[in-house]
A and B are shown apart, each in its own frame.
Chain A
Amino acid sequence: MAEELIPIYIMGKKYMVPPTLTIMKALEYSGYQLIRGVGCRGGFCGACATVYRLPGDYRLQIGLACQTVVQPGMYLAQIPFFPAQRAAYRLDELEPTFQTVFTLYPELMRCLSCGTCTKACPQDIDVKQYMADAMRGDIHAVADRSFDCIMCGLCAARCPAEEAQYNIAILCRRLYGKYLAPKAEHLAERVREIEEGKWDAALEELKSLSEEELRKRYNERDIEPA
């Protein structure tokens, strides 16, 4: 089945591509073998941040190349790397407080709450809101709201206050996960048991079984209801 091709402009150069392709596949269709600007090809890794513009529209739009379908006349370029600062810290030396976040990222308070970051996020995260949470010192809220962040850097690339929002977000998620989230007591208990060797004998016994005996145990094992 012959398919109508549509024009797209990769870094200003015109290529004719099938209209059903994602930007990533259109790049490959046009002859690019990708090294930068390609990662998981599934929308999880943030390697393929892309900026584009459509004809007749002055506004810049953003998307992940692996998740966005081409449109006729699309002008595009990738931003595969963004030189944002990650503060120097070691998590076990920190306290889960506003002061920690502010000390490591003092530019936090320069945030203008303009919302450009939220508009730039390909994950539809309300970045502006979690920055507001951070300024209030609500680490749990930042962690929760930023959870789907893939650290592509598009928020930072567009920020007039030169924030590295995604680095603030991962700091807050780690602070929350380590210090503020309730600890799993049953896990600590099982770790103790294992360190005391409580399960060693049972495992040794299983390892010593013949395949036939092991199969029997496996087929007869009880299964916890769904």
Chain B
Amino acid sequence: MSYTPEMRESIKRVEATRSARLSETWPMMTPAEKQEILERFHPDYIREGMREIRVGVSKGQRMPLELADIVEGRSHLHSDSLDLEQIDYDTDVLVIGGGGAGASAAILARENGAKVILATKLRFGDANTMMAQGGIQAADKPNDSPAIHYLDVMGGGHFANVPDLVEALVKDAPLVIRWLEELGCMFDKEPDGTLVTIHGGGTSRKRMHSARDYSGAEIMRTLRDEVRSYPEDIAILEFAPAIELIMDDKGQCAGAVLKNLETGEHLIVRAKCTIVATGGSGRLHYQGYPTTNHHGATGDGIVLCYRAGAKLAFLDTMQYHPTGAAYPEQIVGLLVTEKVRGLGAQVCNVDGKQFVYPRETRDVEASAIIRECVERGKGVRTPTGMLGVWLDSPMINIIHGPGTIEAKLPAMVRQFARFGIDITKDPMLVYPTLHYQNGGVALDVHGRTNVPNLFVAGEISGGVHGRNRLMGNSLLEITVFGRRAGRAATLRSKEVELGQLTLAHLDDWERQLKEAGVEPKLVSPILLPDYTRKVR
């Protein structure tokens, strides 16, 4: 599966320019150039890819067509589908979602005295968190500060971010790194304990912490192991996604209906507070893009929260990671971590020439790669017809010394070696891939939504990243806001008096659809992507 002769020819041109490129980096774009390239090439600006939603509390907001279809979907249930008196689980805090945000929330909820149920669609830990490679940002070096981090986040998000959320993010960041260190997370360190930090796209200080290139996996498996240390306080329900939230007759969120994915059985969970941490929606493949996302990233939580009346924000902006694998075919769309560029690898076209500063913010970097391939015709074509540009990984060992790639990027080396490509010697072919849902359910600094006793945390939420997220701020977001939601939900649960449980909001939803003349295309949440070939 190694490179074709045509690709080899192009790689020779990359090699020919390498020594000269080592001493010259392409200049960053001016603010005006950035705006222009975004408007012309970024998928968020493709008008036909989005539409307004026609019902609900955020009626009129634009979002990708595929997401709008599930948001305007029909429920699996009606108000009288189930006997809500038959309660299977009664708890203080229900956490829906078993990724990094859900795990953080569960740990903090327990610590603050709550009995917790953590329900997750697949296995506990099956989440985008597990796949985040590059790192987690925190301003903990002497030349850095939460204020500088704040400025980077706001600029990266095109100044649309919610300031209070950004403040919470940057101020909690060092606290979270310290917390993870105490939980036994193995961050990369110098022999004296100094945390190793590098740049990411859009950072003005080197504040990207990593655990080799398994950063998210290391955080996830540590948090998961910690949650599993308290079986008497935290019950873990796997393969049990929520299919609707339950309300009470006072208009408060009061739990959820779960569905055992294997037996089809419905389970009623009554909870004083509910935290939805179901992650993103890359598996909806907006505009046909491949995705880096986990199998379960189907936007379920957005659907549940919206039907319960929670407001949405920034769902008209998705993040396309600039460097997804474009070759070989088996791993198309797979994330090639930004750390590769953080360590000095440049991006080159078919002629081996640079055309973009390697560490622009993700949206700008992705747009530049799309322009190079689509408008300028300088991409490399693969046997299946995909286009891509070169990410010149061998530069890293030249800059930092032999063995650096193997030590710092073991996962990447292994991923490509499986298909006969040695990234220490040859560059990787990359193209943008759907990576992250910048927006989601609106929240405050405690993770509260506008629906009483309903909280959100992590990728499902919208506001902290504005219109574009910087690398390393998602692992940060899930831990910061997971912890905040876990704590706040527990404190709130101590004063909650639940009324009569009801699913009346589902009938109301049906009525709204009807009044707006919307004929739902599908039943949602969809829970699983369907990649089966349609057989007879």
Binding site for B on A (CB under 8 A): 20-22, 25, 28-36, 38-45, 47, 67-69, 86, 88-91, 123-124, 143, 147-148, 150-151, 170, 173-178, 181-188, 190-191, 194, 199, 202-203, 206-207, 211, 214-215, 217-219, 221-224, 226
Picked from B186, B359, B530, the residue with its CB within 8 Å of the CB of A176 is B186
Q: Is B42 an interface residue (CB 8 A)?
A: no
Picked from A40, A202, A226, the residue with its CB within 8 Å of the CB of B294 is A40
On chain A, the residues within 8 Å of B335 by CB distance are 42
Q: Is B123 an interface residue (CB 8 A)?
A: yes
**B126 lies within 8 A of A28 (CB):** no
Q: Is B47 an interface residue (CB 8 A)?
A: no
On chain B, the residues within 8 Å of A35 by CB distance are 122, 239, 261-262, 528
Q: Main SS of chain B's interface residues? A: loop
**A186 lies within 8 A of B140 (CB):** yes
Chain B residue at smallest Cβ distance from A31: B535
Chain B residue at smallest Cβ distance from A212: B159
- Apart from A68-B418, A207-B164, A226-B25, list 6 A-B contacts with CB within 8 A: A42-B331, A44-B131, A150-B217, A178-B182, A187-B140, A187-B177
Complex CA gap A183/B147 in Å reads 24
Contact bitstring B142-183, A, C-beta under 8 A = 1, else 0:
110111101110110001000110010011001101100111
A-B contact pairs, 13 of them (CB 8 A): A25-B330, A29-B533, A33-B530, A40-B295, A42-B334, A43-B415, A45-B131, A91-B183, A181-B193, A187-B174, A187-B178, A194-B174, A223-B204
Contact bitstring B474-511, A, C-beta under 8 A = 1, else 0:
00000000000000000000000000000000000000
On chain B, the residues within 8 Å of A177 by CB distance are 181, 183-187, 222
Chain B residue at smallest Cβ distance from A90: B229
On chain A, the residues within 8 Å of B183 by CB distance are 91, 174, 177-178
On chain B, the residues within 8 Å of A89 by CB distance are 229
**A45 lies within 8 A of B159 (CB):** no
Complex CA gap A224/B198 in Å reads 10
Chain B residue at smallest Cβ distance from A39: B126
Complex CA gap A143/B185 in Å reads 11
Complex CA gap A110/B334 in Å reads 40
On chain B, the residues within 8 Å of A86 by CB distance are 225, 228
Q: Is B317 an interface residue (CB 8 A)?
A: no
CB contact under 8 A between A203 and B193, given known A45-B131, A147-B186, A151-B221? no
Binding site for A on B (CB under 8 A): 1, 25, 31, 122-123, 125-126, 128, 130-131, 138-143, 145-148, 150-152, 154-155, 159, 163-164, 167, 170-171, 174-175, 177-178, 181-187, 189, 191-195, 199, 204-206, 211-212, 214, 216-218, 221-222, 225-226, 228-231, 239, 261-262, 292, 294-295, 329-331, 334-335, 344, 359, 410-411, 414-415, 418-419, 528, 530-533, 535
Complex CA gap A221/B194 in Å reads 25
**A184 lies within 8 A of B186 (CB):** no
Which 9 pairs of residues, A with B, have the shortest CB-CB distance? A174-B184, A182-B193, A177-B184, A218-B155, A178-B184, A202-B147, A190-B140, A28-B531, A177-B186
A179 shortest CB reach to chain B, Å: 8
On chain A, the residues within 8 Å of B530 by CB distance are 33
A117 shortest CB reach to chain B, Å: 18
**A187 lies within 8 A of B181 (CB):** yes
**A214 lies within 8 A of B195 (CB):** no
On chain B, the residues within 8 Å of A207 by CB distance are 163-164, 167
Chain A residue at smallest Cβ distance from B530: A33
On chain B, the residues within 8 Å of A202 by CB distance are 145-147
Chain B residue at smallest Cβ distance from A35: B261
Chain A residue at smallest Cβ distance from B185: A177
CB contact under 8 A between A214 and B533, given known A42-B335, A86-B228, A178-B181? no
B165 shortest CB reach to chain A, Å: 11
Complex CA gap A35/B122 in Å reads 7
B341 shortest CB reach to chain A, Å: 10
Picked from A45, A178, A214, A219, the residue with its CB within 8 Å of the CB of B125 is A45
Picked from A40, A67, A175, A217, the residue with its CB within 8 Å of the CB of B130 is A40
